[in-house]
Amino acid sequence: MYFVKLIINDFVMHNNCDIIYAIEKNLKDKDTYMSKFNKNEITYEAFPLKTYDKIRFADTDKLGHVNNAVFSTFLETGQSEMYGFESMVKENKCGAVIVSNKLDLIGEITWPGTVEIGTAVKHIGNSSVTVLQGLFQNGKVVARAEVVVVLMDMITRKSKSLTDEMKRELNEYMID
d(CA 134, CA 116): 8
Tell me the HSE value of 79 on the side-chain side, using a 13 A CA sphere: 20
d(CA 34, CA 132): 9
Residues 36-64 have pLDDT tens digits of: 666 667 899 999 999 999 999 999 999 98
CA distances for 141 relative to 37, 76, 118, 145, angstroms: 10, 17, 10, 11
**Residue 111 pLDDT more than 90?**
yes
**Residue 157 pLDDT more than 70?**
yes
pLDDT at 6: 33
Among 16-20, 89-93, 122-126, the range with the most confident prediction by mean pLDDT is 122-126
Q: Which residue has the higher pLDDT, 33 or 141?
A: 141
What the chain holds in terms of domains, given with CATH numbers, is 9-171 (3.10.129.10)
**Residue 163 pLDDT more than 70?**
yes
CA dihedral 161, 132, 147, 5 (to 10 degrees): 90
Enter the pTM of the model: 0.78
